[in-house]
Chains A and B, each alone.
Chain A
Amino acid sequence: TQLLEQSPQFLSIQEGENLTVYCNSSSVFSSLQWYRQEPGEGPVLLVTVVTGGEVKKLKRLTFQFGDARKDSSLHITAAQPGDTGLYLCAGGDNQGGKLIFGQGTELSVKP
């Protein structure tokens, strides 16, 4: 069974701080997606990474896919209150297109 473990589960920081969220597995994934879910909303896709070692930047967010395609990280620079939400990673397998989700990291950025 493929599993994705996210850490930390909860993170509360002050505005302006930097943070990193990790998504780890013992399994290889064909792709890795990151979603953000704001309170009262459904998850929204932030990025998809597909190549081992790939780095993608989205404004203050930097996403990295591990060389072996088993892990990923999300780094936020100078966090803002608008970054508050639940961050979910999801790995794509090679068997029928199923996405495996991590349990999420709940981020709170205080002004």
Chain B
Amino acid sequence: ETGVTQTPRHLVMGMTNKKSLKCEQHLGHNAMYWYKQSAKKPLELMFVYSLEERVENNSVPSRFSPECPNSSHLFLHLHTLQPEDSALYLCASSQDALNTGELFFGEGSRLTVL
């Protein structure tokens, strides 16, 4: 139990569906992240939120839309995805986004796009 919970753990969706991934952290951290993990590739940072404000967006396609309603919750809204978007999506939190301190990861949401 890392203190970061992700739901759903597995998701299968068609290219025309709309779905959302949810992340909740119970650690009192100020920063939350979405990462994409694909086989044989480095973890790819998608979005960073610090105190509910987006501080980084690494040129992620607009079919991925993040939402951070408060410092404990983070969502990733998905629509009209492509098969190459199939991957493990990891949520993480840290004390703050300014220093490269420890990241606490959730167990991930395994996404399959048909």
Contact = CB atoms under 8 A, between A and B. Distances in A.
Interface residues of A, number: 26
Contacts of A102: 42
A76 B36 CA distance: 28
A46 B106 CA distance: 16
A55 interface: no
Q: Is the interface of B mostly helix, strand, loop or mixed?
A: loop
B40 A103 contact: yes
Nearest to B41: A103
Contacts of B59: none
Interface string B35-68: 0000011110100000000001000000000000
In this complex, the interface size class of chain B, counting residues with CB under 8 Å from chain A, is: 20 to 34
B42 A30 contact: no
B105 A33 contact: no
Given A9-B40, A103-B42, A42 B100 contact: no
Given A42-B92, A98-B45, A103-B40, A92 B107 contact: no
A33 B98 CA distance: 16
B97 interface: yes
Contacts of B103: 35, 43, 45, 90, 99
